[in-house]
Structure 1
Amino acid sequence: MKCSPKIVHVVAAIIWRDGKYLGVKRPEGKPMAGQYEFPGGKVEPNESVRAALVRELREELDILPTAIAFFREKEHAYDHISVHLHFFHIRAFEGEPLPREGQEMEWLTPAEGVAKPFLEADREIVAQLAVSGDGVVQ
């Protein structure tokens, strides 16, 4: 009998600049290395999703988001983990994104994002951004 993994809450930031969003490539040595994702990470126990988002962006990119807008939630089950994702649009931030964890980063137009190998859990979001252009559904 297969035991389903526990659900991990994760925050993900769609960071915008000049009509492009930041795609981050998972570094070697991490699960699913080489695939793109939106910056973010796990929500710690007793931490709000908003606080987790701010903490993760500081740790991962050395930026402070100043315009945070909730976008949507979704769940996704991988073989090794189930995630409940909380997506946010970040349209303003302090600092310049730096790859503090050795990850490659790339500013992508919504159309360019579709051609990148994003994590399975993010692909629906990438496709939605390509249709809407900026994640805002008219």
Structure 2
Amino acid sequence: MTHLNVAVGIIRNAGKQIFITRRAATGHMASKLEFPGGKVEPGESPEQGLVRELEEEVGILASDYSLFARKDVQFGERQVTLWFYLVEKWQGEPWGKEGQPGAWIAQSALQPADFPPANQTVIEQLQSAC
């Protein structure tokens, strides 16, 4: 069985808005909203993967982040550990560097059904923290 670690950034500004992106219209979980992030490379810690992925995907350099949640999910023969980090300080302004649409959404307005199922409990935790 293959195991992947995925670092996910919950980028939250001082106004309690979360920066989200939208998945491509084709592919896995098409058109769902998502928190930026991606696969942790061999030899990287989840924190190192988070910083690298956020720079590659949304053009920011994360400087203050903390583990918000960890979730293990199975997709067929693949085991995935999702590392969700709350990112509250960074350099730059996030944008869809890979062509994906991005937007700021009020933390209280996040809707679990708009995201992949593996994210839904995290969104519920964010809503209860409002």
| Deviation at residue 81 of structure 1 after TM alignment | 4.0
Q: How does 1:46-61 map to 2 (within 5 A)?
A: 46-61=43-58
1:125 CA displacement: 0.3
Q: Secondary structure at the match of 1:96?
A: coil
Partner of 2:8: 12
Alpha-carbon offset, residue 80 of structure 1 = 6.8
Question: Per-residue displacement from partner, 1:71-113 (whole Å, max 9, x unpaired)?
Answer: 1211112347431011111101100112111111121122211
Task: Give 1:121's aligned residue.
Answer: 118
Q: CA RMSD in A?
A: 1.6
8 and 29 in structure 1: CA distance in 2 versus 1, 3 angstrom threshold: same
Maintained 8 Å contact 2:69/2:122 = no
Secondary structure at the residue paired with 2:110?
helix
Give runs of aligned pairs for residues 26-45 of structure 1, distance below 5 A: 26-45=23-42
- 1:115 CA displacement: 5.8
Q: 63, 68, 76: which is aligned to 1:66?
A: 63
- Choose 68-77 or 40-49, whichever is displaced more: 68-77
**What TM-score, normalized by structure 2, do the two folds share?**
0.90
Extract unaligned runs of 5+ from structure 2: none
TM-score, normalised with respect to structure 1: 0.86
Give the aligned partner of residue 136 of structure 1: none
Number of residue pairs the alignment of both structures matches: 129
Structure 1 residues not aligned, in runs of 5+: 134-138
Q: Does structure 1 retain, via aligned residues, the 8 Å contact 2:63–2:91?
A: yes
Q: Distance in 1 between matches of 2:120 and 2:31?
A: 15
